[in-house]
Structure 1
Amino acid sequence: MKHYKFFAMKKGIFQILFTILMGICGWHSKCYAQVDPHFSQYFIQPMALNPALTGAIEGDYRVSAVWRSQYGNTFSTKGISAEMPTSKNINLGVNLLNQSSADKAYNYTNAYLSIAYTGVRFKDHYVAMAMQAGMLNRSFNVNKLQFGEQWVSGIGYDPSAHSSEVFQKPNVFSFDAGAGLVYYDATADKKINLFGGFSAFHITQPKDPFISGGDKQSLPVRYSLHAGARIILSDLLNIVPNVLYMRQGETEEKMAGAYVQVNASEQVDLMFGANLRFQDAIAPFAGFYYKGFTVGMSYDTNVSTKDAMEMNRNSIEISLSYTWWRKNSMKTKPFYCPRF
């Protein structure tokens, strides 16, 4: 997809979504970390944000990859996705994500198939609806874990010391599903195009045997509400402000930011900007587009006022995506993509 383009939606809809978002963000004064693995460059893995964004590209095919290292390189998260629109108002996509600790003691993997229906249209106003289904795999290498009973006074950690901890199933697979809705206004030649969407993940409430307690507990549903605008300042310059709210159980994430797109030449675009996760981190971003390839890098630096034990949470992300057209494919009128 040429450029990291976002789609548009009507001003009244955006104001409603923004008001709802700010109201939700005001529910709690504290900000907690997400339960699910996620990326600061969420627009590179849009199906992990909202399955209704599946296939919303300016092209016939798109593949993307992103790598994230955090907590002093003790955790890494990798994502790969592929998607395509069709001529039948159905878009298809697959999304894979893996998070693991550096010592391989912990591993989280999910794989989903997304199907989006894009046939609801009112002139240049679009509504996309989608379902997503796949598998979750969560595992621990028990031999890599350390328990309090194995720490001996005057000696330190003794791996041969007995531990009473018991894991019945250190490797678990679960069926999982999600759904999403997106609205955008694709009217051409507008100076301000607005957009927004809502999604819910883990709606099947897969059981999590690793949560403390005698019985298996359900993985909480993750809700996402997102909105933004694509503002055309000139033929060479666009700006894309955006807001995002996610909530999963008692955890939440609130983020706002903006990206600038500079049309440096017919084949080259430059992108830069930043997102702020409230009471957590700021994530500057820079990238470029060249002949279908988009390369991006972001760096999360902590701005939290929490104590020093929680300060080493800086992380880096590197992303790559490639969009292309089928041979002899006919390009139609400009498509105002609902994302970067």
Structure 2
Amino acid sequence: MKRLYKWLMPVYVALAWMPAAKAQVDPHFSQYYVYPLSLNPGLTGAMEGDYRVSAIYRNQWQNVTNAFSTVGLSADVTTNKNINIGLSIFNQAAGDGGYRFTNGYLTVAYNGLAFDREKYKRLAIGIQGGFVNRRFDPSKLQFGDQWFPGIGYSPTVPTGDGFAKIKAGAFDAGAGLAYYDGTPDQMVSPFGGVSVFHLTQPGDPFLAGDKEKLPMRFSAHAGARIVLSDALTLVPNMLYMRQGNAQEKMAGAYMQFYAGQYTDLLLGANWRINDAVSPFAGFTYNNFTVGVSYDVNASELGKMAKGSNSFEISLTYIGKRRNSVRTDYFKCPRL
């Protein structure tokens, strides 16, 4: 039972924090713009380049044994037909039982809807389809009937506890709208969008057979890239997400400082309302962007988990084709 308790501890904490919620909350990132395909399918191909590869890692609740660690990977590319294509996958692992929540998607976005003659102000429509998969490894767990007085735990003794399922997968889909203004040489470039995920509401057999569904996740995000001088840019941003009875509100900003011909420095913070403050630092060099953030939990959850701070690190590469003549690049934010 000891190892079983340690495996379930992250789940106990989450349920205690949301006693009225009947929803599983998707993994999320404080540097949410680093992983745009999970934020909004409409952002596929919205970048200052022709292709992009992003990776992000989040580690949280380290005071809880083997708590949550999440990895996200994505790649997207533009075409000459106003069609952009992307692939994304993320995996979250938690607990001694090797619980894993894995999602993978193919995303397609159309950005041919323009609001000006030069086609800098655009509305993109994105859809995605893929899979959700959840599993755990019961061989890594210890049960009460495997413990004996004076002996302790014996891995050679089989347990009488059984599981109807140790893994499950289902088709999943999402969609989103994204607006952005790529007009060159302007002081303020706004962007924003709305999206919905889990349109198919796949069942969660680990809760109650297929009767419990993964609820849809709705999100709205907005911000602007504000050029204050040749050497300084300000990017305020906000995010609202809701899934079932759980919701997240985040607002913040960061500054981008010119530090050399090929290098910019990034510094800022986000505030997840009633939850945590997340300072951020990073830099760009040539086509690479590296970012680091640390969530300082300020809610009752931090007390229950005896400290539930989180750490993130991200890496993004944005490239251009050798013979590219595009001029309508999205003034993309970095988080």
**TM-score, scaled to structure 1:** 0.83
Alignment partners' CA distance in 1, 2:170 and 2:315: 29
Deviations 1:248-304 (Å, cap 9, x if unpaired)? 111111111111111112211111111111121111111111111111111111111
Q: For the Cα contact (< 8 Å) 1:227–1:242, is it kept in 2?
A: yes
Q: For the Cα contact (< 8 Å) 2:33–2:333, is it kept in 1?
A: no
- The change in CA–CA distance for 1:65 and 1:306 in structure 2 (over 3 A counts) is closer
Alignment partners' CA distance in 1, 2:255 and 2:147: 52
Q: For the Cα contact (< 8 Å) 2:301–2:308, is it kept in 1?
A: no
Secondary structure of 1:217 counterpart? coil
**5+ long unaligned stretches in structure 2:** 1-17
Q: Which residue of 1 aligns with 2:319?
A: 324
Alignment partners' CA distance in 2, 1:295 and 1:307: 28
Root-mean-square deviation (Å): 2.7
Secondary structure of 1:43 counterpart? helix
Q: Does residue 271 of structure 1 match 2:261? A: no
Q: Does residue 110 of structure 1 match 2:106? A: no
Cα offset, 1:75, TM superposition = 2.2
Q: Runs ≥4 in structure 1, deviation > 4 angstroms?
A: 30-34, 146-165
Q: Which residue of 2 aligns with 1:240?
A: 235
Secondary structure of 1:189 counterpart? coil
Q: Which residue of 2 aligns with 1:45?
A: 35
Q: Which residue of 1 aligns with 2:9?
A: none
Decide which moves more: 84-93 or 296-305.
296-305
Q: For the Cα contact (< 8 Å) 1:120–1:127, is it kept in 2?
A: yes
Secondary structure of 1:297 counterpart? strand
Q: Which residue of 2 aligns with 1:35?
A: 25
Alignment partners' CA distance in 2, 1:82 and 1:215: 32
Q: Which residue of 1 aligns with 2:182?
A: 186
Cα offset, 1:333, TM superposition = 5.8
1:149-160 mapped onto 2 (5 Å cutoff): none
Q: Which residue of 1 aligns with 2:93?
A: 100
- The change in CA–CA distance for 1:102 and 1:258 in structure 2 (over 3 A counts) is same
Secondary structure of 2:34 counterpart? coil
Cα offset, 1:98, TM superposition = 0.7
Q: Does residue 70 of structure 1 match 2:60? A: yes
Cα offset, 1:160, TM superposition = 7.6
Alignment partners' CA distance in 2, 1:272 and 1:32: 37
Q: Which residue of 2 aligns with 1:301?
A: 296
Q: Which residue of 2 aligns with 1:138?
A: 134
- The change in CA–CA distance for 1:129 and 1:149 in structure 2 (over 3 A counts) is farther
Q: Share of identical aligned residues, percent?
A: 55
- The change in CA–CA distance for 1:224 and 1:163 in structure 2 (over 3 A counts) is farther
Decide which moves more: 153-162 or 244-253.
153-162
Relative contact order, higher structure (CA 8 A, sep 6+): 1
Alignment partners' CA distance in 2, 1:272 and 1:62: 22
- Tell me the number of residue pairs that the alignment of Structure 1 and Structure 2 aligns: 311
Secondary structure of 1:82 counterpart? strand
Cα offset, 1:155, TM superposition = 8.9
Alignment partners' CA distance in 1, 2:274 and 2:159: 38
Alignment partners' CA distance in 2, 1:293 and 1:330: 21
Q: Which residue of 2 aligns with 1:281?
A: 276
Q: For the Cα contact (< 8 Å) 2:24–2:215, is it kept in 1?
A: no
Deviations 1:27-57 (Å, cap 9, x if unpaired)? x9x9999711121111111000101000111
Alignment partners' CA distance in 2, 1:197 and 1:268: 29
- The change in CA–CA distance for 1:311 and 1:232 in structure 2 (over 3 A counts) is farther
Instruction: Name which of 253, 256, 269 aligns with 1:258.
Output: 253
